[in-house]
Amino acid sequence: MRILSDAIIRPFVCLWLVFAPLSLAMAGDLVRVEVYDPVQRLWHPVLVEIAETQAERQIGLMHRDVLPENQGMLFVYPQENRLSFWMKNTYLSLDIMYFSKTGDWINTAANTTPLSLNGYPSKAPAQFVLEMVAGSAKTLHIGEGSRLVIKDCHLIKTGLDFGLCSR
């Protein structure tokens, strides 16, 4: 009887050992944010990885081949500053969207050139930067009148005063 139970249980244990850490890592890495679409007057949900340490912000979305639709990376800075991003070692064309400390949209660098060393600057001081696959800003109508809110603020380690948190 023990042989039969081992033969049945062992494959499940092996599958669990392989997939449980992956699912935990994926679940822990994604944070829910929403971006307001002033054209359709609705909020679009987006799942993001958070880049809040200097090391995480330096790597960003470099060396990625795929970025699913309605997913991206949110760069979180300790305070507002004029920011500029480049596409070094970034294989995907991205939309880079800058937001103020209150979550108000500042500007978008749309359809960036992969691997380019050109800078894509914010037009005013920004504290949050949302990167998504190129065309996302147009599809979601992110522009004048758009806002960013963070749904899972408790998952962000940076001790910021999040006026744009929505729980």
Tokens 């992956």 sit at which residue?
A: 22
- Dihedral sign of CA atoms 43, 44, 47, 51 in order: negative
Is position 89 within any domain?
yes
Q: Give the count of beta carbons closer than 10 Å to the beta carbon of residue 84.
A: 13
Is position 9 within any domain?
no
Is position 102 within any domain?
yes
pLDDT band, residue 165 (cuts 50/70/90): low
Residue 9 is which amino acid? Answer: I
Structure confidence by residue, pLDDT tens digits, 47-93: 999 999 999 999 999 999 999 999 999 999 999 999 999 999 999 99
Is position 166 within any domain?
no
Overall domain count for the chain: 1
Give me the CATH number covering residue 107.
Answer: 2.60.120.1140
Residue 87 belongs to domain spanning: 31-155
Q: Of 160 and 79, which is predicted with more confidence?
A: 79
Question: What is the distance between the alpha carbons of residues 120 and 107, in angstroms, rounded to a whole number?
Answer: 10
pTM: 0.80
Structure confidence by residue, pLDDT tens digits, 123-159: 999 999 999 999 999 999 999 999 999 887 766 666 5
